């Protein structure tokens, strides 16, 4: 996974200042443990410490709460991608090893944020039964990431840093194994289990892939 961020960003729910924010915080926690269908409005309001009727001053129903959470995930996930118009300069001024390793570390940092960890778990739980979660999973997570990487590989080929292979195939070969390993990483973290083995596998995957596609500089002289 190749992701770059210029500076640390505060999560929108880092500081809980309003009742609406508190409702979202509690709902995210409950949905990430029990799933959407396993949580009632009564349970949410009890955890928040408000009357059921008070919740409707902020959300029409439980559906609007989960839709708001999905939009929050979409916005947070989008921040992990650098603007494509900056990619050429970023790639020109770094080695491919630096680019992908930095991107991997930045994306892992995104996942490791406690709120994002719960948001990811909600997406995993709900994408089989909620069309919005499914759209997020298929389009925002998979399709957009592959499209981004395809642009990255096109630029790297143009810069003669990697072999002239099909960019769409390179994106798939790099990212699909990473998707599976990131899912495993997320599940282990949620159960508070050791992640060192899967982290090493992800790093080895990045190194192996880059060793395979990198142009041998000695042949360019």
Domain ranges of the chain: 66-216
The structure's pTM equals: 0.84
For 117-141, write each residue's pLDDT tens digit.
Answer: 999 999 999 999 999 999 999 999 9
Q: What is the pLDDT of residue 16?
A: 57
> What is the rounded distance in angstroms from the CA atom of residue 145 to the CA atom of residue 137?
11
Identify the residue with better confidence: 173 or 217: 173
Tokens of 210: 């880059």
Coil vs helix vs strand at 176? helix
Q: Whole-number mean pLDDT of the chain?
A: 91
Residue 3 has pLDDT above 90, yes or no: no
- For residue 205, count other CB atoms closer than 10 A to its CB: 15
Coil vs helix vs strand at 50? coil
For 58-90, write each residue's pLDDT tens digit.
Answer: 999 999 999 999 999 999 999 888 899 999 999
CATH classification for the domain delimited by 66-216, as one of 1.10.357.10, 3.30.420.40, 3.40.50.300, 3.30.70.80 = 1.10.357.10
Residue 10 has pLDDT above 70, yes or no: no
Q: DSSP letter string over 27-72?
A: HHHHHHHH-GGG--HHHHHHHHTS-HHHHTTT-SSHHHHHHHHHHH
Q: What is the pLDDT of residue 197?
A: 97
For 179-205, write each residue's pLDDT tens digit.
Answer: 999 999 988 988 899 999 999 999 999
Note whether 190 and 196 are within 8 A (CB): no
Q: What is the pLDDT of residue 8?
A: 46
Count Cα neighbours of 168 within 13 Å in the Cβ-side half-sphere: 1
For 139-163, write each residue's pLDDT tens digit.
Answer: 999 999 999 999 999 999 999 999 9
Residue 6 has pLDDT above 50, yes or no: no
């Amino acid at each position: 996974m190749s992701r770059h961020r210029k500076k640390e960003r505060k999560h929108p729910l880092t500081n809980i200042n309003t009742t609406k924010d508190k409702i979202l915080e509690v709902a995210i926690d409950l949905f990430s443990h029990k799933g959407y269908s396993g949580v009632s409005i009564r349970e949410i309001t009890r955890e928040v410490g408000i009357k059921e009727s008070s919740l409707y001053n902020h959300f029409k129903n439980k559906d609007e709460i989960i839709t708001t959470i999905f939009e929050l995930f979409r916005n947070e996930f989008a921040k992990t991608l650098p603007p494509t118009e900056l990619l050429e300069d970023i790639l020109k001024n770094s080695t491919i090893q630096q680019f992908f390793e930095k991107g991997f570390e930045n994306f892992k940092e995104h996942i490791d944020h406690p709120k994002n960890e719960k948001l990811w778990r909600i997406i995993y739980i709900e994408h089989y039964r909620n069309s919005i979660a499914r759209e997020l999973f298929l389009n925002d997570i998979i399709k957009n990431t592959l499209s981004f990487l395809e642009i990255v590989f096109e630029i790297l080929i143009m810069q003669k840093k990697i072999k002239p292979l099909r960019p769409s195939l390179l994106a798939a070969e790099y990212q699909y194994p990473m998707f599976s390993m990131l899912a495993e990483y997320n599940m282990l973290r949620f159960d508070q289990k050791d992640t060192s083995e899967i982290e090493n596998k992800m790093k080895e995957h990045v190194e192996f892939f880059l060793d395979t596609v990198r142009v041998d500089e000695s042949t360019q002289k």
